[in-house]
C-alpha cells in the first residue's frame, strides 16, 4: 500500500540513534536549527515498500523535564506534532539507565516502539534481553537492532511500514506505575521532593523490568574498561588527552591540512588570480573593475577557500574521536577543571579548537547541553590565540623584543586564556546567571566509528562554514577594497588619500592613551575585523613593506627590516605590547561574527560580542600601557 509515514527517533545521547538515522536516510537529509534555538534539526527521507517515510532525528536527551533546549524540543515535538511512529532508541548494553527516558515518555502517554540497539555491545557484556517478556511487561512493541547492520535496519523499515500502534497500549503493570507517578506529581508540592520520589519510583519499576526480562552474566573486564585504565586514569588522563589533541592539531595544521591549504592557496591566490589579472588587463577592462575582481572578489573568496581544508580535516578528526566514545571521557575528565571557569567538562573541546580557528570553536559550542554553556563558550572562544593572530604576535615580538620573542608570544597566549576565563566568570554571574548548568553524561563503550556518520557530520559542519562564513567574508573584502581604493573624488593611487586613511585617523584617536593613536594602526585594527591575518599585511603595506606574508615565520624574518621603516618610530616597546594585547582580545573577524550570529540565533548577540570584546580589549590595553608608563617602561 502506497502512502507516506512520519517517524520520530528519540533516545539518550550515545545510543546509536544518529547512526540509525544516517544509515536509513543517507544523503537525503536536511539539517537546520529548531526554531528559536541552535540545536540541530535533522530530517531525512527514505522510501520502502512503496511508502515515503520522513524520519526526524530528535536531539539526544536523558529526560523530558523541559529544562534544557533539547528536553523542551523533544517533549514539545512529541506532544504537539502528529507523528505516526515514535521510536525510542535504547542502548542495550546500558539498558537500566536508558529505560528511565522510556518510562518518562510512556508516562506522558506517548506510544512507543522500543528499539533495543547495540545488541552486539550487549552480548559482549553478557546482557541478554527477552523481547517477548519485555513487550508483555510494557505493552508496546520491541525491536532488536545493530545500527550498522543493514539487515536489522531493513527489518526496522519493514516494521515501520506494517505496524499499527492502535493495537498496543500500556500493560496493567505499566498502567499502575503511571497512576502512581501522576499521584506523586499532583500531591507532592515541593519540587525537589517530587523529583526524588519520581526517580525512586521509576528505578523501582525498571528493576522489575530487568528481573522479568533481562539476564546478566559476568564476562570479565571489557575492552572499554581496559582502555579506560590508561586513557581515563587519574594520573595519565590529562597527558593522554594533550597528546591526542596534539596529534589532531598536527594532522590538521601540519601533516595533512596545511599542505592541502597551501596548495589551494597557491592555486587560487597565485595561479588563478594571476590568470584573472592578465585576462582582464588584456581585455582592456577598467582599472577599478580589475581591482574589484582581483583584490576584492577573488581575494575575498580565496581567503575562505584556503581555510576549507583545515576546517574539514579538523571536523573529521573530532567527529572520528567522538564516534569512538573518547570525547565523552574528555568531558568527564575535564569537568572539575572547567567548572572552576564557569563551564562543564563538555566545554573543553570547543575551546581547544579555538587555538586553531575561532570559527569551528564557536560552531563546536552547539554540542553543549544548556543555552548558558553554549553562549559562554561562544563568547569565550574568540579570546584565544587562533592561527590568524599568531603572525601579529610574532611580528611585534620579533621587532621590539628580539631577545625574548618566544616568551612574549607565549605571554599573549596566556593573556587570551586568562581573559577567556575572566569573561566566562563575569558573564556567568551577569548576562547568563539565570540558566543553571548541569552535567549528566553516559560513558559509551569504545567502538570503531561509523564512517558514514563521521563523513556526514564533517560535511554538514564544513558546508555550514563554507556557505555562511564565506558569504560574509566575501562582502567584507569588497567593502575593505572600496575603502582602500576610493575617496570622495574617485579612485586613488595613494593610500593616504583613501577613505581607509580617513577612517583610520578617526579610529586612531581611540588609542591615543594606549600609545598607538596613528591612522595606520587604526586602519590595521579595522582590517583585523575583516580577517586577523590582514593586520600584518596592512601594517606592512602602510609602513612601506608591501607583499609581506601573513605566515608567522615570515613575519619574524621581516621584523628587522620593518624596524627600519616608519613603524619603528610609530611604536615603542610598551605601545607594541599594548597593541598586541588589544589585537589578542578585540572584536572577532567578520567570519567569526557571522558564525556567532548563526550559532547564537541573531544579530543581537553578534553586536553584543563585537562591542563587548572591543570595550574589554580597549580597557585591558589601556591598563597595560598606563600602568607600564607609571612603572617606567
Q: Which residue has the cell 536527551?
A: 61
Enclosing H/E stretch for 225? helix 223-231
User: Three-state SS for 37?
Assistant: coil
Q: Which residues have C-beta within 8 Å of that of residue 302, sequence separation ≥ 6?
A: 265, 268, 269, 272, 273
How confident is the model at residue 529, as a pLDDT?
86
Distance, in Å, from the CA atom of 299 to the CA atom of 269, rounded to the nearest integer, reads: 7
CB 208 within 8 A of CB 133: no
Distance, in Å, from the CA atom of 327 to the CA atom of 55, rounded to the nearest integer, reads: 27
Distance, in Å, from the CA atom of 485 to the CA atom of 491, rounded to the nearest integer, reads: 6
pTM (two decimals): 0.70
User: Three-state SS for 222?
Assistant: coil
3-state secondary structure 257-277: HHHHHHHHHHHHHHHHHHHHH
Domain boundaries, the chain: 3-216, 240-442+450-630
CATH code reported for the domain at 3-216: 3.40.50.300
Series of mean pLDDT values for 10-residue runs along the chain (633 residues) = 87 90 86 68 93 94 81 91 95 94 96 95 92 96 92 94 93 97 93 92 96 88 86 87 81 81 84 92 89 78 72 83 85 81 78 77 76 88 84 82 82 88 87 62 80 84 66 70 86 83 92 90 87 75 54 54 64 93 92 85 90 96 95 87
Enclosing H/E stretch for 114? strand 113-117
Q: Which residues have C-beta within 8 Å of that of residue 364, sequence separation ≥ 6?
A: 318, 349, 350, 353, 377
User: Three-state SS for 311?
Assistant: helix
Distance, in Å, from the CA atom of 447 to the CA atom of 326, rounded to the nearest integer, reads: 9
Distance, in Å, from the CA atom of 552 to the CA atom of 112, rounded to the nearest integer, reads: 57
Q: What is the DSSP string of 494-550?
A: SGGGSHHHHHHHHHHHTTGGGT--SHHHHHHHHHHHH-THHHHHHHHHHTT-TT---
How confident is the model at residue 559, as a pLDDT?
56
Beta bridge partners of 89: 11, 115
Q: Which residues have C-beta within 8 Å of that of residue 350, sequence separation ≥ 6?
A: 361, 362, 364, 365, 367, 368, 377, 381
- Characterize 269-290 residue by residue with b for buried, 16 or more Cβ atoms within 10 angstroms of its Cβ, and e for exposed: beebbeeebeebeeeeeeeeeb
Instruction: Give the rounded distance of the alpha carbon of 59 from its chain centre.
Output: 16
How confident is the model at residue 472, as a pLDDT?
61
* Dihedral angle over CA of 105, 109, 112, 118, nearest 10: 20
CB 571 within 8 A of CB 400: yes
How confident is the model at residue 207, as a pLDDT?
96
CB 4 within 8 A of CB 52: yes
Distance, in Å, from the CA atom of 139 to the CA atom of 168, rounded to the nearest integer, reads: 6
Enclosing H/E stretch for 87? strand 85-91
Which long-range contacts link 608-613 to residues 24+ away (Cβ below 8 Å)?
A: 609/378, 609/379, 609/382, 611/587, 612/379, 613/382, 613/383, 613/585, 613/586, 613/587, 613/588
CB 117 within 8 A of CB 146: yes
**Strand 127-129, strand 214-216: pairing:** antiparallel
Q: Which residues have C-beta within 8 Å of that of residue 522, sequence separation ≥ 6?
A: 503, 504, 505, 506, 507, 508, 509, 510, 511
User: Three-state SS for 518?
Assistant: coil
How confident is the model at residue 8, as a pLDDT?
97
Q: Angle formed by the axes of helices 533-542 and 390-400, to 10°?
A: 40
Going through 425-506 in order, the beta strands assigned E by DSSP cover 486-487, 490-491
What are the two backbone dihedrals, phi and then psi, of residue 510, each rounded to the nearest 5 degrees? -65, -20
Amino acid at each position: 500500500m502506497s502512502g507516506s509515514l512520519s517517524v520520530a527517533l528519540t533516545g539518550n545521547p550515545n545510543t546509536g540513534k544518529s547512526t540509525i538515522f544516517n544509515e536509513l536516510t543517507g544523503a537525503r537529509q536536511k539539517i537546520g536549527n529548531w526554531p528559536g534555538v541552535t540545536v540541530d534539526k535533522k530530517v531525512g527521507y527514505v522510501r520502502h515498500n512503496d511508502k515515503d517515510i520522513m524520519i526526524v532525528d530528535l536531539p539526544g536527551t536523558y529526560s523530558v523535564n523541559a529544562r534544557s533546549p533539547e528536553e523542551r524540543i523533544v517533549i514539545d515535538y512529541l506532544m504537539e506534532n502528529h507523528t505516526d511512529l515514535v521510536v525510542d532508541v535504547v542502548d542495550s548494553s546500558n539498558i537500566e539507565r536508558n529505560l528511565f527516558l522510556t518510562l518518562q515518555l510512556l508516562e506522558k502517554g506517548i506510544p512507543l516502539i522500543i528499539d533495543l540497539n547495540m545488541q552486539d555491545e550487549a552480548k559482549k557484556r553478557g546482557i541478554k534481553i527477552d523481547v517477548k517478556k519485555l513487550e508483555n511487561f510494557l505493552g508496546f512493541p520491541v525491536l532488536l537492532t545493530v545500527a550498522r547492520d543493514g539487515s536489522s535496519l531493513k527489518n526496522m523499515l519493514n516494521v515501520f511500514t506494517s505496524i499499527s500502534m492502535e493495537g498496543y497500549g500500556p500493560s496493567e503493570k505499566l498502567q499502575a506505575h503511571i497512576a502512581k507517578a501522576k499521584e506523586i506529581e499532583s500531591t507532592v508540592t515541593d519540587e525537589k521532593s517530587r523529583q526524588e520520589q519520581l526517580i525512586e519510583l521509576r528505578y523501582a519499576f525498571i528493576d522489575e523490568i530487568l528481573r522479568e526480562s533481562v539476564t546478566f552474566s559476568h564476562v570479565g573486564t571489557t575492552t572499554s574498561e581496559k582502555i579506560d585504565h590508561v586513557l581515563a586514569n587519574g594520573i595519565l588522563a590529562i597527558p593522554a588527552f594533550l597528546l591526542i589533541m596534539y596529534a589532531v592539531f598536527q594532522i590538521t595544521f601540519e601533516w595533512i591540512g596545511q599542505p592541502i591549504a597551501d596548495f589551494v592557496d597557491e592555486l587560487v591566490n597565485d595561479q588563478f588570480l594571476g590568470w584573472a589579472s592578465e585576462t582582464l588587463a588584456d581585455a582592456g577592462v577598467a582599472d577599478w573593475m580589475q581591482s574589484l575582481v582581483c583584490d576584492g572578489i577573488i581575494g575575498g573568496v580565496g581567503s575562505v577557500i584556503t581555510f576549507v581544508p583545515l576546517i574539514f580535516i579538523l571536523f573529521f578528526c573530532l567527529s572520528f574521536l567522538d564516534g569512538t566514545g573518547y570525547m565523552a571521557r574528555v568531558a568527564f575528565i575535564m569537568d572539575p577543571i572547567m567548572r572552576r571557569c564557569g563551564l562543564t567538562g563538555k566545554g573543553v573541546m570547543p575551546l581547544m579548537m579555538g587555538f586553531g580557528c575561532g570559527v569551528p570553536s564557536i560552531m563546536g559550542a552547539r554540542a553543549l547541553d544548556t543555552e548558558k554553556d553554549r553562549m559562554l563558550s561562544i563568547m569565550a572562544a574568540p579570546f584565544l590565540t587562533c592561527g590568524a593572530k599568531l603572525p601579529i604576535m610574532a611580528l611585534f615580538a620579533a621587532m621590539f623584543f628580539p631577545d625574548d620573542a618566544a616568551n612574549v608570544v607565549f605571554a599573549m597566549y596566556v593573556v587570551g586564556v586568562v581573559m577567556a576565563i575572566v569573561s566566562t566568570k563575569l558573564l556567568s554571574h551577569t548576562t547568563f546567571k539565570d540558566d543553571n548548568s548541569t552535567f549528566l553524561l553516559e560513558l559509551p563503550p569504545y567502538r570503531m566509528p561509523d564512517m558514514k556518520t563521521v563523513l556526514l557530520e564533517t560535511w554538514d559542519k564544513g558546508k555550514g562554514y563554507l556557505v555562511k562564513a564565506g558569504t560574509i567574508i566575501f562582502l567584507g573584502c569588497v567593502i575593505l577594497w572600496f575603502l582602500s581604493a576610493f575617496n570622495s573624488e574617485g579612485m586613488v593611487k595613494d593610500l593616504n588619500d583613501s577613505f581607509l586613511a580617513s577612517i583610520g585617523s578617526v579610529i586612531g584617536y581611540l588609542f591615543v592613551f594606549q600609545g598607538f593613536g596613528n591612522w595606520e594602526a587604526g586602519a590595521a585594527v579595522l582590517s583585523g575585523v575583516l580577517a586577523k591575518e590582514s593586520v600584518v599585511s596592512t601594517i606592512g603595506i602602510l609602513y612601506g613593506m608591501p607583499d609581506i606574508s601573513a605566515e608567522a615565520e615570515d613575519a619574524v624574518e621581516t621584523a628587522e627590516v620593518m624596524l627600519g621603516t616608519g613603524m619603528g618610530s610609530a611604536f615603542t616597546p610598551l605601545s607594541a605590547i599594548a597593541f598586541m594585547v588589544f589585537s589578542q582580545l578585540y572584536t572577532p573577524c567578520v567570519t567569526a561574527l557571522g558564525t556567532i550570529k548563526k550559532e547564537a540565533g541573531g544579530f543581537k548577540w553578534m553586536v553584543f560580542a563585537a562591542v563587548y570584546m572591543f570595550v574589554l580589549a580597549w580597557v585591558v590595553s589601556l591598563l597595560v600601557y598606563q600602568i607600564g608608563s607609571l612603572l617606567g617602561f
